[in-house]
Amino acid sequence: MDEPAMGGGMSTGTKVTGVLMVVAVVAVAVAAFNFFTILAFKPTGHATDQGNATLEIESQIVINFTVDLIDWGIGYVNSSASYAELNTEGLMTGTGWQTVTQGLVLESTSNENVTVNLSSDVNADEFIDGGFGTGLSTFEWKVSDNEANSCSTGAQPSGYADVTTTDTVICSNLLFGAEGTPEPNTLLIDLQLNITKSTATVGTKKAVLTATAEKA
Amino acid sequence: MNNEKVVVVLLLVTIILSILSVVVTLAVPRGEAASDNTTVVQTGDPDGTASVQFTIGQSPTAGAG
């Protein structure tokens, strides 16, 4: 019987096959280990990722006149006087006009402190004396806290001063609060008129005051 | 079965296991951390108006006012 020529008793082909067998067994073992490891650990994703949850709330600035009308009604300057004075603190020196004891009230229901500006669409001359530029009457306002400490920087003007037709800061830091609550978030705007007989004109007079707010 | 066939079978098993490993790995959903970026837009009303009015009537004894 012919025996294949082998060095050491094995042919070259048999040696190669043996080596390939070992390599294949190792490959199978590694692949099986890899496969079962993946199954065993059941990866659920990138556990080390980080996310940012950001909630951004924009400022909400809301102001509102909770008392938005002052109406003295109809009246006239007494014949014995050269002028009549009306204000929202109970002063009325003419005849016929109503006595008003409540000024305008401005409330901030914003979600942050605000700076408040106030302006009128007319000045005293335009409001009372017909707008001829020669009037002697006056139209003034005064601002104070309606609820104590509403304006942390102090409301102004604290005494009666001429209204302006351009924005005037009446409080640079008005606090805020919910609508209708006793929280300190309201300003009281009192008004005063001097109706001078010699220049005031007969008729119905109306002024519109505009308050604007911005983030303090 | 001769040795050559055994080697071929083992290699096929290796290939199949490798393919399965890849498939299982890819089949796992990639986890992503939640990331919410929510903006609450609120519109304000930064203006308020009020009216002041009165009427000057005719004086019984004089003219205007």
Residues 35-54 of B with CB under 8 A from A: 35-54
The Cα of B1 is separated from the nearest Cα of chain A by a number of Å equal to 13
pLDDT at A2: 45
pTM for this entry: 0.68
Check CB contact under 8 Å for A209 and B6: no
Write out pLDDT tens, residues A24-59. 788 788 888 888 887 777 666 555 666 677 767 778
Nearest CB neighbour to A205, from listed B43, B56, B59: B56
Interface membership of A105 toward B (CB under 8 Å): no
Task: Provide the sign of the torsion angle of the four alpha carbons A39, A44, A45, A47, taken in this order.
Answer: negative
Using the predicted structure, report yes or no on whether residue A7 has a pLDDT greater than 50: no
Angle between the N-to-C axes of helices A12-41 and B3-27, in degrees from 0 to 180, rounded to the nearest 10: 20
> How crowded is residue A214: how many other Cβ atoms within 10 Å of its Cβ?
12
What is the separation of C-alpha A135 from the centre of its chain, rounded to a whole number of angstroms?
A: 40
By C-alpha distance, the chain B residue nearest A84 is B65
Check CB contact under 8 Å for A51 and B48: no
Write out pLDDT tens, residues B7-61. 788 888 888 888 887 787 777 665 555 555 555 554 678 899 999 999 999 888 6
Percent of chain A at pLDDT above 90? Answer: 67
Phi-psi region of B47 (alpha: psi -120 to 50; beta: other; left: phi over 0): beta
Write out pLDDT tens, residues A155-210. 999 999 999 999 999 999 999 999 888 899 999 999 999 999 999 999 999 999 99
Q: Are B28 and A44 in contact (CB under 8 A)?
A: yes
* Set of chain A residues whose Cβ sits within 8 Å of the Cβ of B22: none
B/e letters for A164-180, b = 16+ CB within 10 Å, e = fewer, are eeeebebbbebbbbeee
Report in angstroms the alpha-carbon separations of A107 from A37, A145, B18, B49: 68, 10, 73, 12
Query: What are residue A88's phi and psi, to 5 degrees?
Result: -95, 15
Nearest CB neighbour to A69, from listed B20, B47, B51: B51
Range of weakest confidence among A116-125, A129-138, A144-153 = A129-138
Check CB contact under 8 Å for B41 and A47: no
Write out pLDDT tens, residues A98-107. 999 999 999 9
Mean pLDDT of A114-131: 96
* Set of chain B residues whose Cβ sits within 8 Å of the Cβ of A213: 46-47
Interface membership of A51 toward B (CB under 8 Å): yes
Using the predicted structure, report yes or no on whether residue A20 has a pLDDT greater than 50: yes
